[in-house]
């Protein structure tokens, strides 16, 4: 079996990659509906849209970075913290305080957590198949894959407004809040 055929069969052989694409698509649609709901609240639409979109994509990049490069990131962080006790205390407090504030006050944490879990499951699927590129290539590949599906979902969310079931869920407040 040649390499390109194996690559084409990868979504079938590793179904968690397909699940990661579906979850990324859903997040793009969900964030698009949330942007529409914010526009209806009378806030400056262009500024809110840009800030919201950039912040969500930054979150996705950070999660992808930490999920695909854990050995490199944690090794460098450990070496940095091992330099002195003061650095260990400062880094630990910074991580705990910022992480705690993020977990307590950001309502979108659940969607990012689901995406991180799907990404880690996709990595496990690739490891099970003994297909794993170098760390930086995996980071770039997964980031591109996730960003493509998020952007596609965000672009497609306007067409989903026409679907009756989506319209009903929007009116009921299930989607977009």
For 28-61, what is each residue's pLDDT tens digit? Answer: 888 887 777 776 656 566 776 778 888 888 989 9
- Residue 21 pLDDT grade (very low, low, confident, very high; cuts 50, 70, 90): very high
pLDDT at 137: 87
- Residue 174 pLDDT grade (very low, low, confident, very high; cuts 50, 70, 90): low
pLDDT at 24 over 90: yes
Task: Give CA–CA dist 146/97, Å, rounded.
Answer: 28
3-state secondary structure 73-131: HHHHHHHHHCCCHHHHHHHHHHHHHHHHHHHHHCCCHHHHHHHHHHHHHHHHHHHHCCC
- Residue 143 pLDDT grade (very low, low, confident, very high; cuts 50, 70, 90): very high
19 contact partners, CB below 8 Å, separation of at least 6:
118, 121, 122
Mean pLDDT, rounded, of the chain: 79
pLDDT at 98 over 70: yes
Task: Give CA–CA dist 30/27, Å, rounded.
Answer: 5
pLDDT at 177: 53
What's the pTM? 0.75
Share of the chain above pLDDT 70, in %: 81
């Amino acid at each position: 079996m040649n390499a390109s055929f194996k690559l084409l069969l990868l979504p079938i052989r590793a179904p968690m990659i397909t699940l990661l694409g579906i979850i990324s698509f859903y997040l793009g649609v969900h964030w698009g509906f949330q942007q529409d709901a914010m526009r209806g609240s009378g806030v400056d639409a262009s500024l809110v849209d840009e800030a919201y979109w950039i912040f969500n994509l930054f979150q996705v990049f950070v999660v992808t970075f930490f999920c695909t490069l854990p050995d490199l990131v944690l090794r460098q962080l450990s070496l940095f913290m091992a330099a002195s006790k003061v650095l260990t205390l400062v880094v630990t407090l910074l991580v705990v305080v910022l992480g705690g504030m993020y977990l307590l006050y950001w309502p979108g944490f659940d969607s990012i957590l689901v995406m991180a879990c799907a990404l880690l499951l996709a990595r496990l699927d690739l490891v099970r198949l003994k297909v794993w590129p170098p760390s930086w290539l995996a980071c770039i590949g997964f980031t591109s894959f996730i960003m493509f599906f998020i952007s596609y979902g965000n672009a497609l969310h306007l067409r989903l407004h026409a679907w009756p079931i989506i319209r009903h869920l929007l009116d009921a407040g299930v989607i977009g809040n």
